[in-house]
């Protein structure tokens, strides 16, 4: 099993390039099976374990999928098998995003139910209620969700109890081929929803209002393959912003979109970090001393839960008391115990963590509990005294391309080694094997 070994104390300086967004590319690849004619060409695709998994989900249905040079090409014009077995859903919950497209195009989908994961129970009830409102019969049993409709789905008015990203995506995709107009109220407003809507519209769909709380979809009869480039990953960008802040460094984050990063930018500025737009990116300069602050995770445009653990690493280094309140997932504090192994001083009170900073972080052996926790522990290691060893890198490889290599190019003293202690080069990282 690979490990990342980091020796703290280096300031990070230089330029880093942000990849295409994991959370945008997964729904876009799922949506490509809506096209009954033509191929979809998807550019700026990050080389991540999750991308291999969604590609396998599609191949298993008999779609043709190529993945080379950051480009995925999908030909789904055959009649596809309408199933996604547990072996894929177990690897990656986002596999359930094929439910809506399969149901809309073929009138049937049989997809393994995702379980909970390290961050919470994560039900999909809102996805299923949306399909039912559009006339589908949904049956959950024997670990599968089976949805069926005679003829086309029917446009419907759907109110989401919470603005779920996945439910908004799944219902939006299903509605593109429905008969009539679907309205999603209290929809998620994340930039990845807008990217998916743009892709769908290029395929011939009519989706209006993505990025606002009401999305209106006028159903059409056929969708076609198209070409699309994925938006930059705001969470990867944010993670490098924290790398600059936590090391007192100066990093130009190329490709970062400030509009997608507003809540993080506001909080980092409160902590004393300098952030400037420069070229097509953001320059981030860490201060000599970080100030404390509070965050509360919320759906977009609130503070993203996917930046919570990286922000925790930074707050541990700030002077004064900081508080994090996690409102999106009920159990996203598993990394707290790992930070404690690094001498972090904090306590959990219900859905909040109170951090008494700064902690004198010490290097330790720690295990990643989810993909953002993996990045956060490495960020803490950049600042800690001595050596930090981070294990369970299968999580990191779901969401970060060559993370250790990018940090090393900015001046970090970091390497990735295999079980024998031999250095693993970026091209040797086996994103597929890490998952099995």
Ligand X SMILES: CC(=O)N[C@H]1[C@@H](OP(=O)(O)OP(=O)(O)OC[C@H]2O[C@@H](n3ccc(=O)[nH]c3=O)[C@H](O)[C@@H]2O)O[C@H](CO)[C@@H](O)[C@@H]1O
Ligand Y SMILES: C=C(OP(=O)(O)O)C(=O)O
User: Looking at beta carbons only, is 10 or 369 nearer to ligand Y?
Assistant: 369
- The pattern of x and - marking residues 252 through 291 that bind ligand X according to CB under 6 A reads ----------------------------------------
**Does residue 122 have a known ligand-binding role?**
yes
Strand 413-417, strand 64-68: pairing: unpaired
Among 111, 126, 264, 282, binds ligand X (CB under 6 A): 126
- The pattern of x and - marking residues 81 through 100 that bind ligand Y according to CB under 6 A reads ------------xx------
Among 37, 66, 79, 125, binds ligand X (CB under 6 A): 125
User: Looking at beta carbons only, is 51 or 223 nearer to ligand Y?
Assistant: 51
Write out the catalytic residue numbers. Answer: 117
Distance between CA 401 and CA 48 in Å, rounded? 6
DSSP annotation string for 290-325: PBP-EEEB-STTSB-GGGHHHHHHHHTTSBEEEEEE
Three-state SS for 223? strand
Helices 262-270 and 234-247, axial angle in degrees (round to 10): 10
In the list ligand Y, ligand X, none, the entry touching 286 (Cβ below 5 to 8 angstroms by class) is: none
Three-state SS for 184? strand
- Run of H or E residues at 138: strand 137-141
Among 192, 236, 306, 397, binds ligand Y (CB under 6 A): 306
Could you give the maximum distance between any two Cα atoms of the chain, in Å?
Answer: 64
Strand 181-185, strand 214-218: pairing: antiparallel
26 binding ligand X? (CB under 6 A): yes
User: Looking at beta carbons only, is 50 or 410 nearer to ligand X?
Assistant: 50
Subset of residues 317 to 336 that bind ligand X, contact rule: CB under 6 A: 328-329
Distance between CA 170 and CA 218 in Å, rounded? 15
Subset of residues 374 to 433 that bind ligand Y, contact rule: CB under 6 A: 399
Beta bridge partners of 353: 324, 348
76 binding ligand Y? (CB under 6 A): no
Residue 164 CB, nearest approach to ligand X (Å): 3
Count of positions on this chain that bind ligand Y (CB under 6 A) = 8
User: Looking at beta carbons only, is 120 or 211 nearer to ligand Y?
Assistant: 120
Distance between CA 141 and CA 392 in Å, rounded? 32
- Residues annotated within the binding site for UDP-N-acetyl-alpha-D-glucosamine are 93, 122-126, 306, 328
């Amino acid at each position: 099993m690979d490990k990342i070994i980091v020796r703290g104390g280096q300031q990070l300086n230089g330029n880093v390039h942000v990849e295409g967004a994991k959370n945008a590319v997964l729904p876009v690849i799922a949506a490509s099976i809506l096209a009954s004619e033509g191929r979809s060409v998807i550019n700026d695709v990050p080389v991540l374990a999750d991308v291999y998994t969604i590609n396998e989900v599609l191949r298993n249905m008999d779609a043709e999928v190529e993945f080379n040079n950051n480009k995925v090409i999908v030909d789904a014009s055959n009649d596809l098998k309408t199933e996604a077995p547990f072996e894929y859903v177990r690897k990656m919950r986002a596999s359930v995003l094929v439910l809506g497209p399969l149901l809309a195009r073929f009138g049937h989908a049989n997809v393994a139910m995702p379980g909970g994961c390290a961050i919470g129970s994560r039900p999909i009830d809102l996805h299923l209620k949306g399909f039912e409102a559009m006339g589908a019969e949904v049956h959950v049993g024997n670990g599968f969700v089976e949805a069926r409709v005679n003829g086309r789905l029917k446009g419907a008015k759907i109110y989401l109890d919470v603005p779920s990203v996945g439910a908004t995506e799944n219902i939006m995709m299903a509605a593109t081929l429905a008969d009539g107009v679907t309205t999603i109220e209290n929809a998620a407003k994340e930039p990845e929803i807008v990217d998916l809507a743009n892709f769908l519209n290029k395929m011939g769909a009519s989706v209006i209002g993505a990025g606002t709380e009401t999305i209106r979809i006028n159903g059409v009869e056929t969708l076609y393959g198209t070409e699309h480039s994925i938006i930059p990953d705001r969470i990867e960008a944010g993670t490098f912003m924290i790398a600059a802040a936590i090391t007192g460094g100066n990093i130009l984050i190329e490709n970062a979109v400030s509009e997608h990063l507003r809540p993080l930018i506001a909080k980092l500025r409160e902590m004393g970090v300098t952030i400037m737009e420069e070229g097509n990116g953001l320059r981030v300069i860490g201060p000599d001393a970080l100030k404390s602050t509070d965050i509360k995770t919320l759906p977009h445009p609130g503070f993203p839960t996917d930046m919570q653990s990286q922000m925790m690493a930074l707050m541990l280094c700030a002077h004064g008391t900081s508080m994090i309140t996690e409102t999106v997932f009920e159990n996203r504090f598993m990394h707290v115990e790992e930070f404690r192994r690094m001498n972090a001083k904090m306590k959990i009170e219900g859905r909040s963590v109170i951090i008494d900073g700064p902690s004198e972080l010490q290097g330790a052996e720690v295990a990643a509990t989810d993909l953002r926790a993996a990045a956060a522990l490495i960020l803490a290691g950049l600042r800690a005294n001595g050596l930090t060893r981070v294990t369970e890198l299968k999580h990191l490889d779901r969401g970060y391309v060559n993370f250790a290599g990018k940090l090393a190019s900015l001046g970090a003293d970091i390497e990735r080694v295999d079980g024998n202690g031999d250095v693993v080069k970026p091209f040797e990282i086996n994103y597929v094997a890490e998952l099995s």
